[in-house]
Amino acid sequence: MSSRIQFEHVSKKYKLGLTRTSLPSVISSRLKRGLQRGASGNIDRQELWALRDVSFELGAGESLALVGRNGAGKTTILKLLANITKPTSGQVTTRGQLSALIELGAGFHPDLTGRENIFLNGTILGLSRQDIKRRFDEIVDFAELGRFIDTPVKRYSSGMTVRLGFAVAACIEPEILLVDEVLAVGDASFQQKCLKRIQALVRNGTSIIFVSHNFYLVRAICERALYLEEGQIVERGNALDVIARYERTLHQERAEKFEGAPRAQTVSGADLEITKVQVVDADGNAADALPSNQPAQVQIHYNAYRDVGCVSASAHIIRSDGLTCCEMRTSLDNVQFSLKRGQGVVSVTLEPLQLITGTYTVEGGFLNESDSMGIVVGQSDWFFVKGDGLSYEERNGVFRPRTRWEHHNGITNGGSDGQ
């Protein structure tokens, strides 16, 4: 049996409101109940099922993402795996050394130096002194601490603390690694470094369970994913599909919140109003999953109350994590439109769409002729882009350009660098 992690029909119940019952408060509540006879005899004994009948398995070198809202049970799964808490029913089995990136630097003592804290934190994570000594240089190197290693941790910047915490936990080379939303801190270059480190661990056979709200990070690390809601598995499968499902649920909900109002947000200027921004496929139909390798068209529907004259139209494609993927603007393409009174549509076609799989929205609007001032802007519904071919292999980057690969064989290098 090669599975590292086995979760079999695991449920976890938390009791709420039972923990801090002081004698005076018990007496006073008893008295109160005695006085108002017939009142409900229901003491504060609420129960919360953090997990209900969850089963999954993970083998060596596999990576699993847990996605879902706050309170869906992701952290409870990590705590059960880390042996911090026990399941109410069911069986949790882990095989091999486990390390958790749950709270970076939780074991740090502010008065002790970085060096002392490496030993302290390392032993908390289950390493022996010898192990730490062996990896000490690697840890310091990875954390980029250099000469600060003998400075008390309380003088570190938060970035330095996080780097040190990650370095200790990741240098352990555990067989199972739990990562809980810790890569969100630290600067981008360190994040990248952590990502590389995690990917290297997976290649070397570490099993990873990853919790993050950053879906691009999830896609970069995980093959599979579980989507949890209220302690139950809603969907499981390859990470891409599961995240897509989750994102769609999120966006649907967001849209339902605005029910009654037009689904697309519009802002109206005094003389010019954007009535709708939408993205349509090659056949002109609004679809919520657009193929990446097909043309797509962004349409900005407007209503002008007078002749507006020359304007510059613009559209930004924005990814679900807030990244602006590209900007299209008439002035950049040396195009000009003159808007007359009445309704109309300005559209721009992307041939092909080229975006990688993910969830996006478009912000479309008009600027004045010199581009110096926006007039109105509107936002489209969220739409989903599906990559072609083995789409789940698409993990990094923003778009896939049209490519042509070539291979020239047998070229003899007559230059000087061939010697």
Partner 1 sequence: MMLSLMGRVFNSRDLIAAWTSRTIRARYQQSALGWLWAIIQPAAQVAIFAIIFTLFVPVNTGGTPYVVFSYVAMAPWAFVASSLPDMANSLVANMSLVTKIYFPRQALPIAAMLARLMDFGLAASLILVLLVYFQVPVLFQAWLFLPVILGIQMMLVLGLGLALAAANVFYRDVQSLLTLVIQLWFYASPIIYPVSLVPERLRAFYFLNPMAGIIEAYRDVLVYARVPGMYLVTSAIVSLVILVVGYWFFKRVEFQIADIV
Closest CA to 67 of 258, 212, 184, 205: 212
Q: Which is nearer to partner 1, 20 or 257 (CB)?
A: 20
Q: Which of 54, 65, 92, 127 binds partner 1 (CB under 8 A)?
A: 127
Q: Which of 49, 119, 136, 337 binds partner 1 (CB under 8 A)?
A: 119
Q: Which is nearer to partner 1, 101 or 308 (CB)?
A: 101
Hey, which residues between 71 and 110 contact partner 1 (CB under 8 A)? 79, 82-86, 98, 100, 102-103, 106-107, 109
Per the structure block, which two tokens stand in for 87? Answer: 């399941």
- Contact flag: residue 112 with partner 1 (CB under 8 A): yes
- Contact flag: residue 125 with partner 1 (CB under 8 A): yes
Q: What letters, b where the CB count within 10 A reaches 16 and e where it falls short, cover 71-110?
A: ebbbbbbbbbbbeeeebeebebebeeebbbbbebbeebee
- Distance from C-alpha of 218 to C-alpha of 222, rounded to nearest angstrom: 6
Q: Which is nearer to partner 1, 99 or 379 (CB)?
A: 99
Please identify, among the stretches 29-37, 119-127, 250-258, 281-289, the one whose residues bind partner 1 according to the rule CB under 8 A: 119-127
Q: Which residues contact 97 (CB under 8 A, 6 or more apart)?
A: 126, 172, 174, 175, 176
Closest CA to 97 of 128, 66, 120, 129: 128
Cβ of residue 131: shortest distance to partner 1, in angstroms? 9
Cβ of residue 120: shortest distance to partner 1, in angstroms? 5
Burial class (CB in 10 A: 0-12, 13-18, 19+), 36: exposed
Please identify, among the stretches 127-135, 229-237, 324-332, 402-410, the one whose residues bind partner 1 according to the rule CB under 8 A: 127-135
Q: Which is nearer to partner 1, 14 or 49 (CB)?
A: 14
Cβ of residue 127: shortest distance to partner 1, in angstroms? 8
- Cβ(274)–Cβ(267) below 8 Å: yes
Q: Which of 8, 97, 120, 232 binds partner 1 (CB under 8 A)?
A: 120
- Cβ(244)–Cβ(347) below 8 Å: no
- Contact flag: residue 25 with partner 1 (CB under 8 A): no
Size of the site for partner 1 (CB under 8 A): 28
- Contact flag: residue 51 with partner 1 (CB under 8 A): no
Question: How many secondary structure helices (H) and strands (E) does the chain include?
Answer: 8, 19
The binding site for partner 1 (CB under 8 A) comprises 14-15, 19, 79, 82-86, 98, 100, 102-103, 106-107, 109, 111-112, 116, 119-120, 123-129
